Structure 1
Amino acid sequence: IDEHLINTGELQTRPRHLRKYVELIIIDESDRLNATALEMVRDHYDRDNVAVILIGMPGIEKRFSRYPQLYSRVGFAHEYRPLSKDELRFVLERRWPKYGHPLDPDDFTDAQALAAIARITRGNFRLVDRLFTQMERIMQINELNTITDDVVEAARSTLVIGIT
């Protein structure tokens, strides 16, 4: 933050604890952290007054409850539910044009690909994003400009999916 503010000429010379911004640490896959790493995060939170967001798999708050020093500092836990059919379509309608044309649910090819994406991801937003990343790679390699059921299935085969 300081480097950015120095470059923009906005750095204020007030002490760190009086500045108007908040330092934030975002830790993805935090359920993979061991006890030592969690203690380091807690210590950093306490010493430097930083905000911390821990992102992990469902049930992560139960694991953290075994570490009372950390758990007592948890403000809230939020579990994201899967996207509904309408929400998934909303997301896909905004991603689809990047690949050459808008999503048309009445088009057989689009409808098949849409159904495959819904079946594979079950509305998991993060998985939708990962799947699209792989689909884009497959389309570039094969010089394709249309999302098809085969592209979706090829992308799925390259992912490690932990959903049962």
Structure 2
Amino acid sequence: MRKQFVKTENYSRFVAGIQAVEQRGAAEAGMMLVHGAPGFGKSHIVGHWAAEASAVFLRANVDWTPKYFLVELARALRVDPTGTAQQLFSRLLERVVETQTPIVIDEAEFSLHQNAAALEKVRDLSDRAEVTVVLIGMERIQQSIARHKQLSSRIAQVVEFVPSTLADVEQACRQLAEVGMTPALVAEVHRISGGRMREVLNVIAAVERIAAINGQSTLDVSDLEGAALSYDWQTRTAKAVKATRGR
């Protein structure tokens, strides 16, 4: 499978959200929330943007504290991580103001422990440095953040990631698959994956394995009828290609 970045509709909506945050009126409202179910490409898409924007990408942990966040940010920015939390915050603030480095916090739910103490520290840094902060979380994180008015008032944009469209899957198959796939088979990839881009990639890899075994360069639904291309771990059932109509 080719290693390329696929610009899906979720990507386009995310980029539009980033542009809106960067053009905001209130300087302190520099936070953006990205949320959605697992497998919709949140971390992958935001990570791609972070690399292009030279942003710092951090992943919150279950035991995150304000100091823990500051130390991880310092290491990412190559700032001396020693000293008190106040001393560390001052050094980081100086560096972030100087570089205007955006900050991404993945699995942001873990920053909400202890009355959102870690996220409050993120907010404080964002307020003072006036930099963009992107928070990535699961479906219910918006409701959780809404309980903290000081935080929710700083969120300028919210982007919900949704299942990939058939057009997204068509583009992914065209860009990534090293075998030809008919429109009917692409539609099956979309159905089997449920629009989860993570699963789309796994299904494409499965199709490529079957093609290699059979020595085929192009596949149709008829070549894969009944073949299990994925697995539903909740129902413990295989996700197989359905028979073509009329058979």
**TM-score band, normalised by the shorter chain?**
0.5 to 0.7
- 1:124-163 equivalences under 5 Å are 124-129=196-201, 131-132=202-203, 135=206, 139=209, 144=213, 148=224, 150=227, 152-153=229-230, 156-157=231-232
Deviation at 1:77, TM superposition (A): 0.7
- Whether 1:70 aligns to 2:151 is yes
Structure 1: give runs of 5+ residues left out of the alignment: 4-14
Equivalent residue of 1:58, what SS? coil
Counterpart of 1:121 in structure 2 is: 193
- The root-mean-square deviation of aligned C-alpha atoms, in Å, is 3.7
Equivalent residue of 1:76, what SS? strand
Greater helix share, 1 or 2? 1
> Is contact 1:39–1:70 with CA below 8 Å preserved after alignment?
no
Code of the residue aligned with 2:121 in structure 1: it is D
Q: Distance in 2 between matches of 1:124 and 1:74?
A: 26
Counterpart of 2:138 in structure 1 is: 57
Per-residue displacement from partner, 1:82-101 (whole Å, max 9, x unpaired)?
2222222112211212xxx2
Code of the residue aligned with 2:103 in structure 1: it is L
1:43 pairs with one of 115, 121, 144: 121
Q: Distance in 1 between matches of 2:111 and 2:199?
A: 21
Q: Distance in 1 between matches of 2:153 and 2:142?
A: 11
Deviation at 1:75, TM superposition (A): 1.7
Q: Which has the higher contact order (CA 8 A, sep 6+)?
A: 2
Greater strand share, 1 or 2? 2
Structure 2: give runs of 5+ residues left out of the alignment: 1-75, 79-93, 236-247
In 2 relative to 1, CA 115–18 (structure 1 residues): closer, same or farther, beyond 3 Å? closer
> Is contact 1:82–1:124 with CA below 8 Å preserved after alignment?
yes
Give aligned pairs, total: 133
Counterpart of 2:160 in structure 1 is: 79
In the superposition, the TM-score normalised over structure 1's length comes to 0.58
Q: Distance in 2 between matches of 1:2 and 1:45?
A: 18
Q: Distance in 2 between matches of 1:133 and 1:85?
A: 14
Q: Distance in 1 between matches of 2:77 and 2:141?
A: 33
Per-residue displacement from partner, 1:10-59 (whole Å, max 9, x unpaired)?
xxxxx52542431413313x346543283202213313645432222334
Q: Distance in 1 between matches of 2:161 and 2:142?
A: 13
